């Protein structure tokens, strides 16, 4: 992006310096990389022979068509096709008209006053995925405690807590909630659709339907809040059971799930860009070091405890280049952090961005995923450790989500 000089000078001071810094850093990074290329040019490594493409079998082609084009006709869905509150009517009818006792699927539909059809069967399947129904025996359904708490709450928080519990039970709905918790939802629905199809394998012909259900569920569970005209997903992990009865997310299990297929080597490092002065400087040992180790990488920070001698810029450059992933604590807009962030972007490195507030996030990196933490939350530290560990793994798995200029 090129702006006329007068427009640049008219920008707020932090924005002006960030743009000026970037143009300088790109030039510096290009010089460093050119020097590196020259040093390695004499290595004389012979290029690897290109292997011939393996001919796809008819079975592979058919599988690819199904994967790329969508689902097979009549294939079962891995997620609920209905929002929570729109598949509550049949479990509620069984609770009210059959005293909550088990019955067949067709009897359940009859208690709700509706005729049996394939759509009703899918609705019952959705209710089971949310945990509104359970199957005590084959072919039988029975309303669960979640349904009872939604329909007949005993205290003010029962209904909303039960709806949240239902959301956390739903396959894929809960996975994408956990992916975005503590972050702003993308401004454009197409970005959310890309994440759903590429990271969570939602069939392309079903993705719009899925997003509609997902957003309606977040609204029903009151898990969205407006922050500066953006929708932020509330993080309800580590909710104490005595405070409301909400089942908290088992973050270790979720980390194992998102880590599937990701290989982390013993030599992989994560470079942390953050202020050294307290209080934020103290987050390194309390938050970021344990989070990075939880993800299986070695944490590195550019302070005198690690880099004792030599030119600091050379050592920062070396640390940035070696790191597989980087973490940037943007709270306070520390100039050294912004400088290192500019170098990281020039290197096209995946960066996990973190801030306690949106105002401290430079305007031109807000389209990249940012973790927001709330210091007034008594569990903010535990939540942030879990979320940073997950986003580090996610950045390794899908680096395009964490690189500002993935095609630059």
CATH code at position 332:
3.40.50.450
Q: What is the pLDDT of residue 314?
A: 81
Q: Are 113 and 172 within one domain?
A: no
CB 252 within 8 A of CB 238: no
Tokens encoding 121: 């069967």
Burial class (CB in 10 A: 0-12, 13-18, 19+), 279: exposed
pLDDT: which is higher, 243 or 219: 219
Domain C-terminal end among 190, 210, 244: 244
Tell me whether residue 35 is in a domain. no
Q: What is the pLDDT of residue 403?
A: 85
CB 352 within 8 A of CB 365: no
230 vs 186: CA distance, rounded Å: 8
What one-character-per-residue DSSP string does 13-29 give? HHHHHHHHHHHHHHHHH
Q: What is the pLDDT of residue 41?
A: 47
pLDDT tens digits along 305-362: 455 556 777 888 889 999 999 999 999 999 999 999 999 999 999 999 999 999 999 9
231 vs 226: CA distance, rounded Å: 5
At residue 110, φ and ψ (nearest 5 deg) are: -65, -40
Which of 260-264, 353-357, 393-397 is least confident? Answer: 260-264
Q: What is the pLDDT of residue 254?
A: 75
Q: Are 233 and 277 within one domain?
A: no
Which of 42-46, 175-179, 182-186 is least confident? Answer: 42-46
Q: Are 284 and 392 within one domain?
A: yes
Q: Are 354 and 302 within one domain?
A: yes
Which band of pLDDT confidence, cut at 50, 70 and 90, is reported for residue 221? very high
109 vs 198: CA distance, rounded Å: 36
**Count of the separate structural domains present in the chain:** 3
pLDDT tens digits along 235-249: 987 644 434 444 445
Which band of pLDDT confidence, cut at 50, 70 and 90, is reported for residue 197? very high
pTM of the model: 0.72
Tokens encoding 177: 């909630």
pLDDT: which is higher, 120 or 260: 120
The Cβ of residue 297 has, within 10 Å, a number of other Cβ atoms equal to: 25
Q: What is the pLDDT of residue 10?
A: 46
Q: With a cut of 60, say whether residue 18 has pLDDT above it.
A: no
Q: What is the pLDDT of residue 244?
A: 45
Tell me whether residue 406 is in a domain. no
Tell me whether residue 315 is in a domain. yes
Instruction: Please choose, from the candidates 243, 221, 91, 106, the residue with its C-alpha nearest in 3D space to the C-alpha of residue 169.
Output: 221
Q: What is the pLDDT of residue 256?
A: 82
What one-character-per-residue DSSP string does 305-360 give? TT--SS-HHHHHHHHHHH-SEEEEE-TT--HHHHHHHHHHHHTT--EEEEESSGGG
pLDDT: which is higher, 343 or 252: 343
Q: With a cut of 90, say whether residue 296 has pLDDT above it.
A: yes
Q: Are 229 and 271 within one domain?
A: no
Instruction: Please choose, from the candidates 159, 396, 393, the residue with its C-alpha nearest in 3D space to the C-alpha of residue 254.
Output: 393
Percent of the chain scoring above 70 in pLDDT? 75
At residue 385, φ and ψ (nearest 5 deg) are: -60, -50
Which of 107-111, 202-206, 362-366 is least confident? Answer: 362-366
Report the first-to-last Cα separation within the chain, whole angstroms. 12
Tell me whether residue 335 is in a domain. yes
Which of 129-133, 156-160, 358-362, 403-407 is least confident? Answer: 403-407
Domain with 303, as residue range(s), is 262-401
Question: Which whole number is the average pLDDT over 251-263?
Answer: 80
Burial class (CB in 10 A: 0-12, 13-18, 19+), 129: buried
Question: Which whole number is the average pLDDT over 356-383?
Answer: 91
Q: What is the pLDDT of residue 3?
A: 44
Q: What is the pLDDT of residue 67?
A: 41
CATH number at residue 129: 1.10.10.10
Tell me whether residue 256 is in a domain. no
pLDDT, mean over the chain: 82
Q: What is the pLDDT of residue 36?
A: 52
Strands 224-227, 230-233: pairing is antiparallel
Domain C-terminal end among 109, 130, 151: 151
Q: Are 390 and 281 within one domain?
A: yes
248 vs 168: CA distance, rounded Å: 9
Q: Are 165 and 146 within one domain?
A: no
Strands 351-355, 325-329: pairing is parallel
Tell me whether residue 270 is in a domain. yes
Could you give the strand order of the β-sheet that contains 298-301, starting from the edge strand earlier in sequence?
A: 298-301, 269-273, 325-329, 351-355, 370-372
- The DSSP letter of residue 285 is I
Q: Are 107 and 145 within one domain?
A: yes
Q: With a cut of 50, say whether residue 66 has pLDDT above it.
A: no
Q: Are 300 and 397 within one domain?
A: yes
CB 273 within 8 A of CB 344: yes
Q: Are 392 and 266 within one domain?
A: yes
Q: Are 142 and 164 within one domain?
A: no
At residue 345, φ and ψ (nearest 5 deg) are: -70, -35
362 vs 342: CA distance, rounded Å: 11
Tell me whether residue 253 is in a domain. no
Q: Are 298 and 383 within one domain?
A: yes
Tell me whether residue 72 is in a domain. no
49 vs 135: CA distance, rounded Å: 57
Domain C-terminal end among 190, 216, 244: 244
Q: Is the dihedral of CA 54, 59, 63, 66 positive or negative?
A: positive
Using alpha carbons only, how large is the chain's radius of gyration in Å? 25
286 vs 277: CA distance, rounded Å: 14
Q: With a cut of 90, say whether residue 22 has pLDDT above it.
A: no
Which band of pLDDT confidence, cut at 50, 70 and 90, is reported for residue 259? confident
Q: With a cut of 50, say whether residue 12 has pLDDT above it.
A: no
Strands 298-301, 325-329: pairing is unpaired
Q: Please, which residues have CB within 8 angstroms of residue 99's CB and are 6 or more apart in sequence? A: none
271 vs 276: CA distance, rounded Å: 14
Q: With a cut of 50, say whether residue 46 has pLDDT above it.
A: no
274 vs 287: CA distance, rounded Å: 12
CB 112 within 8 A of CB 98: no
């Amino acid at each position: 992006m090129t702006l006329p000089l007068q427009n640049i000078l008219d920008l707020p001071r932090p924005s002006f310096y960030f743009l000026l810094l970037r143009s300088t850093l790109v030039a510096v990074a290009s010089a460093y990389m050119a020097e590196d290329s020259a040093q390695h040019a004499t290595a004389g490594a012979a290029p690897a022979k290109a292997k011939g493409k393996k001919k796809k079998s008819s079975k592979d082609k058919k599988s690819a068509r199904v994967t790329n084009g969508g689902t097979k006709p009549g294939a079962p869905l891995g997620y609920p096709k209905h929002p929570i509150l729109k598949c509550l009517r049949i479990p509620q009818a069984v609770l009210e008209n059959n005293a909550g006792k088990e019955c067949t699927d067709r009897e359940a539909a009859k208690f709700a006053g509706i005729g049996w059809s394939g759509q009703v069967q899918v609705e019952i399947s959705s209710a089971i995925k949310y945990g509104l129904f359970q199957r005590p025996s084959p072919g039988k359904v029975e309303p669960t405690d979640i349904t009872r708490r939604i329909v007949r709450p005993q205290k003010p928080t029962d209904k909303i807590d039960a709806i949240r519990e239902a959301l956390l039970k739903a396959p894929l709905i809960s996975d994408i909630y956990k992916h975005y918790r503590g972050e702003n939802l993308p401004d454009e629905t197409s970005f959310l659709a890309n994440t759903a199809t590429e990271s969570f394998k939602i069939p392309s012909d079903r993705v719009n339907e899925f997003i509609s259900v997902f957003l309606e569920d977040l609204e029903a569970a009151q898990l969205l809040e407006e922050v500066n005209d953006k929708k932020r997903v509330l993080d309800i992990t580590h909710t104490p059971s005595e405070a409301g009865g909400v089942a908290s997310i088992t973050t270790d299990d979720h980390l194992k799930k998102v880590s599937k297929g990701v290989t982390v080597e013993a030599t992989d490092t994560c470079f942390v860009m953050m202020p050294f002065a307290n209080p934020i400087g103290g987050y390194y040992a309390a938050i970021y070091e344990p989070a990075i180790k939880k993800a299986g990488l070695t944490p590195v920070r550019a302070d005198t405890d690690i880099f004792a001698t030599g030119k600091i810029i050379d050592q920062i450059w070396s640390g940035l280049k070696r790191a597989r992933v980087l973490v940037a604590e943007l709270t306070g807009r520390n100039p050294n952090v912004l400088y290192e962030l500019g170098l990281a972007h020039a290197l096209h490195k995946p960066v996990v961005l973190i801030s306690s507030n949106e105002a401290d996030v430079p305007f031109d990196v807000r389209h990249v995923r940012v973790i927001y933490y709330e210091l007034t939350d008594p569990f903010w530290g535990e939540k942030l450790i879990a979320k940073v560990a997950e986003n580090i793994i996610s950045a390794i798995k899908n680096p395009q989500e964490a690189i500002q200029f993935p095609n630059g």
